[in-house]
């Protein structure tokens, strides 16, 4: 072993661990966001995508006249809704008023998740947005 390789490993290994961790945020991730990510993967990812990328062609109605699951990342419009609105959409479910069917295409989670779990998943969604979007959404939530 040459005398330089040991300190180099010490420097590089932690950097690799961090790069493999959370996909968006650098630095430390609060426990609540980690919990939110787990809830997201278990209950939301199947429809909204593993990275919150949404369904393909999410912005036009499908063959039934229903809107497909939209993205939650910066390409979607989740960040335009206040905390209270997001909470309601997740707890009570949601369908676009223009959908041709009556069913809730976004299922209600109030019997499945606790209020606190819904809040954690909302906090996780916030990590998928840009700094500007987070600021906009924070303002919306204060009204
Ligand atoms: C069975 C598929 C499905 C699952 C599971 C699901 N969603 Fe949805 N979600 C949808 C669909 C479809 C829409 C769009 C409804 C519409 O616009 O008609 C939607 C819309 C939303 C919206 C509104 C977005 C916007 O910008 O208008 C939010 C927020 C949301 N979902 C969050 C969640 C969260 C959080 C979970 C997990 C706890 C979840 N969804 C699980 C299908 C799903």
Burial class (CB in 10 A: 0-12, 13-18, 19+), 86: buried
Query: For position 32, what pLDDT does the model report?
Result: 83
Tokens of 66: 């229903």
Name the closest-CA residue to atom 24, ligand 1.
78
User: Positive or negative CA dihedral for 53, 57, 61, 66?
Assistant: negative
Query: Which residue has the least CA distance to atom 10 on ligand 1?
Result: 106
Q: Is 127 in the pocket of ligand 1 (CB under 6 A)?
A: no
Tokens of 5: 């390789």
Tell me what the mean pLDDT of segment 116-129 comes to. Answer: 97
Average pLDDT along the chain? 88
Q: Report how far ligand 1's centroid is from the alpha carbon of 21 (Å).
A: 25
Task: Say whether pLDDT at 18 is over 70.
Answer: no
Which ligand 1 atom sits closest to the C-alpha of 55? 12
Q: Is the CB of 136 under 6 A from ligand 1?
A: no
């Amino acid at each position: 072993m040459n005398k330089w390789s040991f300190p180099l490993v010490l420097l590089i290994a932690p950097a690799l661990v961090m790069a493999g961790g959370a996909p968006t945020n650098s630095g430390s991730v609060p426990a609540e966001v980690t919990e939110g990510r787990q809830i997201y993967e278990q209950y939301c990812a199947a429809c909204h995508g593993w990275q919150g990328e949404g369904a393909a062609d999410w912005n036009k109605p499908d063959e039934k006249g229903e809107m497909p699951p939209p993205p939650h990342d910066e390409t979607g419009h989740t960040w335009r809704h206040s905390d209270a609105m997001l909470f309601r959409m997740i707890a009570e479910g949601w369908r676009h008023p223009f959908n041709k069917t009556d069913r809730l295409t976004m299922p209600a989670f109030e019997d499945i998740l606790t209020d606190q779990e819904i809040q954690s998943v909302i906090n996780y969604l916030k990590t998928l947005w840009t700094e500007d979007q987070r600021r906009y959404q924070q303002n919306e939530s204060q009204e």
